[in-house]
Amino acid sequence: MSGLMPGDLDRPSGLLDRLHTRETADPMTPPVVNSLPRAMLSYASPESGRSLRREDDALVSEEGGRYPVVDGIPRFVSTEGYAAAFGHEWNIHALTQLDSRTGTSISRKRLERCLGMPLEGLRGQLVFEAGAGAGRFTELLVAAGALVHAIDLSTAVDANRKNIGPHENYAIAQADLRRPPYPPRSFDVVLCLGVLQHTPDPEQSIQVLWEFVRPGGLFVTDHYTWSLSRVTTLAWLYRLYLRRLPPERAKSITDSLVDVFFPLHWRVRRFFPAQALLSRISPCHFYFRSFPHLTKEQLFEFARLDTYDSLTDRYKHLRTQGQIRQTLRALGAVGVEVWRGGNGVEARCRRPSDGSGG
């Protein structure tokens, strides 16, 4: 029996369909391709890289591995592990960061900046999105006509699937990015944004993901870095306590913190000195200066999302530009570009076209 194609799995209609059909759709966003010149990749055993076959409600490998398909999503892990807090987060805030929901281009601008090209350049390209969350980048990649293979360790995959809906250039699986369910060196683009700092060993994660970049392919990522605010606020003290709690309890507490501090941030939003002083004791993430075009309600929702996100992650590694550059060069990458931006450090590079590197 041939390997299972992602399109063989049923997927419900989702928010992305409405993005494509609404009359006011962004004219810069091309429609999803109806007839693709290249095929989606089949799922492969995370252990051997060999193709899988479908048996009832599971994918089965030649080695005897069995991976259930639940709600149309292949599950290559039995637990969320260190990502449980993120699964809880993205199923609550499934729509918060989607450009199609906010009416902005916040996610698109970040994605294109990291890629170093317009999204239209990904049309027909095999893209591996590691750590897809609820789909803030997934919806843009699919809309651009990329052949999107997304994974997440957490149950955020359920929110992602619901948001994106059925498209022949999209597949989502619950899997560990350190053990991706695809053949090595298969992708034109491997994308991992907002994720590496939350893995147990970022350098190991980069090394694994690098193995899935085909010759001449592009690797794109980012990472938290050092900043003065990390040592001059009380956020670390809140996190020391909150990350030990069950996700549900921690979310209740962070929501209460936002309820208390957000009105204060809003009151002094145009007076930077007061805002800076307030941030010394407030753990609330407030983005008025970064995104002044967002409504008060949207800023409040962003605050609830990112305050929880920043105070409950099990791992929060920090890396400098030099460390990320050194890691990528050690893999044999070419065209390495690393800069300060976004959440800290952003980077991209390519595997040499002759297949060397790593």
Do residues 36 and 58 share a domain? yes
CATH number of the domain bearing residue 345:
3.40.50.150
Do residues 247 and 269 share a domain? yes
- pLDDT-based confidence at residue 27 (cuts at 50, 70, 90): very low
Do residues 146 and 63 share a domain? yes
Q: CA 148 to CA 168: how far, in whole Å?
A: 9
**pLDDT value at 185 more than 90:** yes
Partners of 51 in the beta sheet?
44
Do residues 303 and 332 share a domain? no
Residue 85: inside a domain: no
The predicted model gives 182-197 an average pLDDT of 97
Tally the domains of the chain: 2
Do residues 68 and 204 share a domain? yes
pLDDT in tens, 48-105: 888 999 999 999 998 889 999 999 999 999 999 999 999 999 999 999 999 999 999 9
Do residues 202 and 244 share a domain? no
- pLDDT-based confidence at residue 2 (cuts at 50, 70, 90): very low
Strand (E) positions, 175-314?
187-192, 213-224
Residue 174: inside a domain: yes
Do residues 259 and 212 share a domain? no
Range of the domain at 213: 6-76+110-225+323-350
**Contact assessment for residue 247 and residue 220, using Cβ atoms and an 8 Å cutoff:** no
DSSP letters for 172-202: EEE--TTS-SS-SS-EEEEEE-S-GGGSS-H
Buried b (16+ CB within 10 A) or exposed e, 209-236: bbebbbeebbbbbbbbbeeeeeeeeebe
The predicted model gives 309-324 an average pLDDT of 97
Do residues 253 and 126 share a domain? no
- pLDDT-based confidence at residue 26 (cuts at 50, 70, 90): very low
Do residues 338 and 218 share a domain? yes
Q: CA 310 to CA 235: how far, in whole Å?
A: 8
pLDDT at 5: 53
Partners of 192 in the beta sheet?
221
pLDDT at 42: 93
By residue count, the chain amounts to 358
- pLDDT-based confidence at residue 1 (cuts at 50, 70, 90): very low
**pLDDT value at 7 more than 70:** no
pLDDT in tens, 159-180: 999 999 999 999 999 999 999 9
pLDDT at 228: 81
Do residues 291 and 263 share a domain? yes
Do residues 237 and 199 share a domain? no
pLDDT at 250: 98
Residue 90: inside a domain: no
Residue 358: inside a domain: no
- pLDDT-based confidence at residue 231 (cuts at 50, 70, 90): confident
Residue 133: inside a domain: yes
**pLDDT value at 152 more than 50:** yes
Do residues 183 and 210 share a domain? yes
pLDDT in tens, 259-297: 999 999 999 999 999 999 999 999 999 999 999 999 999
| Percent of the chain residues past pLDDT 90, beyond the cut | 83
Query: What is the rounded average pLDDT for all residues in the chain?
Result: 90
